[in-house]
Structure 1
Amino acid sequence: MRLSVIVPVLNEASGIAATLGALAPARAAGDEVLVVDGGSHDGTPELAAPLADRVLVAEPGRARQMNAGAVAARGDVLWFVHGDTRVPPEAPEIVRGALLSGRAWGRFDVAIAGRARTLRVIAWCMNRRSCLTGIATGDQALFVRRRAFEAVGGFPDQPLMEDIALSRSLRRRFGWPACPHGPVVTSGRRWEQGGVWRTILLMWRLRLRYWLGADPETLARLYRQVRERP
């Protein structure tokens, strides 16, 4: 069971070496690591090249980048790891064990690195919500058998909530995800730069509107407008 780790990036120069360094054990075991760049201008591809098997270029947009990586991947399992997320050394074997138990897909618990203590509460809520709903977010390093990913058509081509949409399709078709505790560690910069509570309220608002049927393009514009405000 060979893993293809797909890492979508856009201007991740400050942390890409740590992300890919944490995946070195997977490469040493024969798995592949694909970095898919969406148009970085900070040198991310150059920094990633020595630490990955291939660096690809795709149209910007996380869903498009991850789908492009999936097309190029050679493994039996597709494992999507964000560019600011670090996985524990034992993570590849955790993925294999989870899928060999009969599940078609899964995700990790997540911890959020940062100064604010509130980030621990956010991570706990994310993990708990995911367990109760069977829905994974991209920060949780989603993994899926290739045949299951292809059966549901991959990530929908939308600028926001692509992880939720894929999770819903996988849950409907293949059942609930495996939920190993891990955890993987993701950066808390998004919350800290935008203000922790402000970002929490924004994400709750966007998710509620998405569940009520709002167009992802509209939600993406709202997300950018709010994040760009001083």
Structure 2
Amino acid sequence: MLSLVLPTSNEAGLDYLPRILERFAGRENVEVIVVDNASHDGTRERIADSGVHCIDLPHSNRAQRLNAGIAQATGDWVLLHHPRSLAPTEAPALVAALPEAVRWGAFSHAFDMAHPLLAWTSWYSNHVRLDCAGIAYLDHCVVARRDALPHHPVPNLDIFEDTALSRRLRARLGKPLRLPQTAITSAVRYRHNGVWRQAAMNQVLKLGYAARLPHSWMNRLYERGLSLNG
């Protein structure tokens, strides 16, 4: 069985949540666990309509919601699914067919917006950051064998929790496998802020993470005008 952990926080404004639930809820050998940050925009109603298990975790960051979902997972594999990404329909079969030697990995990345810089960003994310450095962002939709995960595997950070998780798993399990099938990710931040401005912001935040600036402050900067990473 595949346990799909979906951390949500006021997701109704975009169309990814219903597409994720339509794609995976109710499927045989797929356990969908939604962990919600007390959403008040209709997200909870959409989750309830799908019939999947939902854990209410108010005043939580995404790392805490991921850990709460992982703690409830019963499948052989856990899929950490970004709430504004869409893993391939065949993800459960693809993950189940992975060789025993594979302990963790992630799908290839692409944006839902055509732009040369975004195409390059996805190429870099796939071939340099993931293949070479072993860092998988959550929007790749990360998969791991449940029995290989440590207790509360996702570090309690408001931002870059996926980078910290990747480093923890890489040290424990080795480099991840990048699956060739693609997870499509929303480019909502780039649409809202402008492609080049958002790309510059991302690089500034990476420098801030390397410099160990407070993660709560960096997340507030990242979230200005959007509040997507609650």
Does the Cα contact within 8 Å between 2:24 and 2:30 map onto a contact in 1? Answer: no
Aligned to 1:23: 24
Does the Cα contact within 8 Å between 1:23 and 1:87 map onto a contact in 2? Answer: no
Select between 155-164 and 111-120 the one with higher mean Cα deviation. 111-120
CA drift at 1:52: 4.7
Structure 1: gaps (5+ residues): none
- Counterpart amino acid of residue 102 in structure 2: R
What is the rounded CA distance, in whole Å, between the counterparts of 1:63 and 1:56 in structure 2?
Answer: 14
1:139 matches 2:166: no
State the Cα deviation string for residues 149-173 of structure 1 (Å, max 9, x = none). Answer: 225x411111011000010010011
For the aligned residue pairs, the C-alpha RMSD in angstroms reads: 2.0
Aligned to 2:80: 80
Aligned to 2:193: 194
What is the rounded CA distance, in whole Å, between the counterparts of 2:51 and 2:3 in structure 1?
Answer: 11
Aligned to 1:125: 124
Query: How many residues are paired up?
Result: 223
Summarize the alignment of residues 144-183 of structure 1 with structure 2, pairs less than 5 Å apart. Answer: 144-150=144-150, 153-183=152-182
Name the SS of the counterpart of 1:159 in structure 2.
coil
What is the rounded CA distance, in whole Å, between the counterparts of 1:49 and 1:91 in structure 2?
Answer: 23
Name the SS of the counterpart of 2:181 in structure 1.
coil
What is the rounded CA distance, in whole Å, between the counterparts of 2:36 and 2:175 in structure 1?
Answer: 30
Change beyond 3 A, Cα 1:223–1:28:
closer
Moved over 6 A (4+): none
CA drift at 1:105: 0.8
What is the rounded CA distance, in whole Å, between the counterparts of 2:51 and 2:81 in structure 1?
Answer: 13
Structure 2: gaps (5+ residues): none
What is the rounded CA distance, in whole Å, between the counterparts of 2:150 and 2:87 in structure 1?
Answer: 25
What is the rounded CA distance, in whole Å, between the counterparts of 1:52 and 1:123 in structure 2?
Answer: 34
Structure (1/2) with the larger helix percentage: 1
TM-score, normalised relative to structure 1: 0.89
1:58 matches 2:60: no
CA drift at 1:227: 6.6
CA drift at 1:117: 4.6
Does the Cα contact within 8 Å between 2:131 and 2:177 map onto a contact in 1? Answer: no
CA drift at 1:185: 0.7
State the Cα deviation string for residues 7-30 of structure 1 (Å, max 9, x = none). Answer: 111111132111211224xx4222
Aligned to 2:2: 3
